[in-house]
Structure 1
């Protein structure tokens, strides 16, 4: 980052936000996250309240208790959170960029007033139910249905890989109706709503991941998101959330590079620090090159988003680059730490494992390549 004079690209407010989140991560996440990861747990409610206190939840949204910051400031917050752990960043981005964004953008005024202030404060947690066991990259194949019963709606189906679901107070659920795909605001205490934990995870272990089960869930007419009709609405939410991943994945990569630099400077072999060997310096240089170019692209796309000019292809290109760059940095850092790199005493393999999930969620690398390919050629290769 220093090689690119990165701070010169940021405003004073953006640097202050970054530094505040960095301190929060240092004090309240880093000392505990290895144990959370080992145990497969996360104190999600406590962290949500702390993030709400700092104004991080829905921070790039306007009104209803949200901070209204720019896209780059939000990205920097995600960078710092994910440099501690991807699971913590997922808690924040699912809350703000998926659940809160959906309600803010497509919801009624009553839905916004009911949920957004509490979600911004972290006293209510949200989740986003789009992915299904047999419908990931192809959300149009979803099987969850919503049918009318008088003035009410009846929802049936199952969502999978839903971050925050087991601790959530509200879910934004997408379902197939006679009018196309619609979104619904579903309080989690509604009869017929349940969750099942996803066990035996080797990635994102410090994250609450569940199946969301809907069985004859009766909702009033005003549960539907009035502004969301068709797949464009949930896809817009994913596009909003991807910018946080663009920055966040690089945060994990940065933490791996930081640790590798420190380790290489103190670990000796053949009578001198391994940082003095050519092959180690080549690794460190290539890791830094990927990180710096990724950050420059991330800031540029963030500025485009702030100006209302960012395209889906630009975001896909940045997400593709960030994730593949970060996982490469993590794997290379592991080789510098050698056997020490596979323990939880150091964060690199934890980051690498987490990035295996980040690489594929909210759009796999293959899907993002097809989005970019369509922008280049004008031809859609999805089907």
Structure 2
């Protein structure tokens, strides 16, 4: 007993007496922390600290405040935004014929270009004081998503000037003179912008761009001025072939010390008219059979005045930070909007096609193999739309959550790829044969575009999400890194000591809480609501605590090596991402008023995300190099095993049935999908056939029974089916007329396009 008392007293003295603690614990830990601290380059640090933290920090803390989370207002439109959506947007959508745009003209029609410029589709993020629309991120996302359901090429054309580009950079960093000159011209369509960042040997590693500028004096407008002599070679630049003003990122050097002692100043951004002497617009790319303008630009020994740098002299060398801060917002809108469009189109059209396309006398959507793919489409689309809304809500609050937008870009584009592949499997030949009736083909080919740009997905998942999240979202790590980097070592030690004692308490609390939640199945965790989704909140809190504990141990044990163990850090990033996506699903369900018809989608999504979290932890524990710590963590977090299962078969079937049922629930979940009530429209013909067949569902069931009784021959279609059924007195004359109409729509809906010899080759034959 005396020994136990002595141990307790020693522990109290060790931690409570500052001088003892600092000497015996904090100083050695401070030295260890400085040794294992992952080295950060200047560009890495700027990328790491760009943007804000938001709900991601709550999830990483292990103590998410669900009550506060659910009180967040969902994104809403202003009256002006709604009027634009109801009028200008609908007019533009009606003008788009994607088959002609992509397969024939390889460009938007001149009338569409003119309309986009006239109605300021390029100016959604530009302030009203400069003639722009000043729309919210919610309106921006909605407009781009809805255009993308009609034409990816048109959507990309609209989204680029409203994402990372001259308009946004000028708005945030431009001088008053730059704003007053350029923003009104961009707003009214006088100028079309592009932004050139990617080079032949610098893609996602944009910090490695070789393009350079040297400070020097030269002549401009007949006067000698201080300026920059530029050399660049850029590719993959959207709108470059038609741009009148070029935003350019390059590395700036000052060998003669014209601005100071620093020779290598750093990445800088400038704005250059494309008709400026020496600026060359190169040849056009052809990105996976898409018609949006994309190409090259280059220049050799091009002199520009210094005041063409965005932000002027004060912003030379700050281009990387500018780009990272702007990218963290735009990345959460543009490419996720394309993925959202994919989800809405595939859910609505696949549900319709699976009912219209019949086999063995049944809609193919009644076969379990097809239902499995349909379940993935509907359940995944629910997550896609939920994630879009939650991320847009953060942006509407003025936040720029860089980790969240990285998660959004990566996972939404990957989920878009998944639903598109499932839709193509179900549509089979109809999805393969290109033509005006094919509403999937161009989207399928465009999917890798979203996967690749604004940071390749491999890089985003393996380096950015956890790499940035572990420092930005953790309550102590970034502050500890700052303390360790303090040139005043004693002050750094004092700061580190104050943080360390809190960090130790944080880690200990996470350890014991994880054990308790694992043993009890988190049943004693608080939930902000009651009902069928309450258990999901409890489990997500448990997994949040598990992530906080595991991340701490991983960073402590591996230090800087964790940065290079990309597959391990990616798995922890997956845990954070699926926690965020699951949160988004729960938030949407509450915001929509807990619609009972949505519950099957919610259950699928939550069970999928929890299972993915479990698999990510399983893979992490199996591959963590310190086997003792891996075993200890797994035992602490999952003492009864990892028991999150994939969604049950019944959920897949329930979603498939819901996708084949017209009504408010289907409309609510696919509201972004655009079509015309016209049998000649690429989506409209399928929608019309589906609705008509559902209206005559009882008639078709009667025909099926007549076939089984042998009253009419099997495998009849169209007018032959109507004639046979009428002759057998299975249907009336009036019903026969309706049947002929519906059969014509059905057969046209499952048909594919075909072209006369020479048509596709632009040849004519005698």
Given the superposition, is the C-alpha separation of residues 116 and 48 from structure 1 closer, same or farther in structure 2, using an over 3 Å criterion? Answer: farther
Q: Which residue of 2 aligns with 1:252?
A: 342
Q: How does 1:350-365 map to 2 (within 5 A)?
A: 350-365=442-457
- C-alpha separation in 2, matches of 1:260 and 1:183: 45
Tell me which residue corresponds to 1:264: 354
Match of 1:381 in 2: 563
SS in 1 for 2:282: strand
Partner of 2:310, secondary structure, is strand
SS at match of 1:154: strand
- Residue number in structure 2 paired with 1:3: none
Partner of 1:236: 325
Q: 1:239 Cα deviation (Å)?
A: 2.3
How far does the alpha carbon of each residue in 1:289-342 deviate from its partner, in whole angstroms, 9 at most, with x for none?
Answer: 111111111111111112123410000111112101111111111111111101
Cα deviation for residue 119 of structure 1 reads 1.6
User: Following the alignment from structure 1 to structure 2, what is the Cα–Cα distance between the partners of residues 25 and 284?
Assistant: 31
Q: Separation in 2 of the partners of 1:241 and 1:170?
A: 20
**In the alignment, is residue 189 of structure 1 matched against residue 275 of structure 2?**
yes
**2:171 is the counterpart of 1:79:** no
Q: Which of 393, 418, 422 is the equivalent residue of 1:328? A: 418
Contact 1:61 1:101 in 2 (8 A): yes
Give the distance between the partners of 1:334 and 1:238, measured in 2 at CA. 32
- CA deviations on 1:155-182 (whole Å, 9 max, x unpaired) are 1011110000010010110110022111
Residues 1:60 and 2:242 are matched in the alignment: no
SS at match of 1:263: helix
Q: TM-score, structure 2 length as denominator?
A: 0.46
Matched position secondary structure for 1:172? strand
CA distance in 2 between partners of 1:287 and 1:240 (Å): 27
- Change beyond 3 A, Cα 1:23–1:48: same
2:188 maps to 121
- The whole-number CA distance in structure 1 between the counterparts of 2:162 and 2:113 is 11
Specify the structure having the higher radius of gyration (Cα).
Answer: 2
Does the 8 A contact of 1:21 with 1:81 survive in 2? no
Q: Which moved more, 1:244-253 or 1:164-173?
A: 244-253
CA contact (8 A) 1:36 1:206 kept: yes
CA distance in 2, matches of 1:265, 1:367: 40
Secondary structure at 2:122 match in 1: coil
Q: Which whole-Å CA distance do the structure 1 matches of 2:351 and 2:448 have between them?
A: 23
Report 1 or 2 for greater relative contact order, CA contacts < 8 Å, sequence distance ≥ 6: 1
Identify which of 98, 103, 106 aligns with 1:41. 106
The 3-state SS of whatever aligns with 2:390 is helix
Could you list the runs of 5+ residues in structure 1 that have no partner in the other structure? 1-7
Match in the other structure for 1:4: none
Q: Distance in 1 between matches of 2:362 and 2:145?
A: 34
Which of 431, 440, 445 is matched with 1:348 structurally?
440
Give the length in aligned residue pairs. 373
**Higher normalized helix content (fraction of residues):** 2
After superposition, give the CA deviation of every residue in 1:123-181 in whole Å (9 maximum; x if it has no partner): 32100001111001111111111112211221101111000001001011011002211
Q: Deviation at 1:121?
A: 2.1
TM-score after normalising by structure 1:
0.90
Q: Matches of 1:22 and 1:261 in 2, distance apart?
A: 26
Quick one: distance in 2 between partners of 1:199 and 1:70?
Answer: 32
Residue of structure 1 equivalent to 2:115: 50
* SS of match in other structure, 1:189: coil
* Between structures 1 and 2, the one with greater strand share: 1
Q: Which runs of 5+ in 2 are unaligned?
A: 1-73, 218-225, 254-264, 472-554, 556-561, 567-766
Q: Structure 1 pair 138/251, CA: closer, same or farther in 2 (3 Å)?
A: same
Cα-to-partner distance string for 1:262-300 (whole Å, 9 max, x where unaligned):
222211211222223233233222112111111111111
Which residue matches 1:299?
389
- Residues 17-26 or 370-379, more deviating: 17-26
> Once the 2 structures are TM-superposed, how far is the Cα of residue 60 of structure 1 from its aligned partner?
3.0
Are the structure 2 counterparts of residues 294 and 287 from structure 1 closer, same or farther at C-alpha, using a change threshold of 3 Å?
same
Call closer, same or farther: CA 1:20–1:297 in 2, change over 3 Å: farther
Q: Which residue of 2 aligns with 1:108?
A: 175
Comparing 354-363 with 18-27, greater Cα deviation is found at 18-27
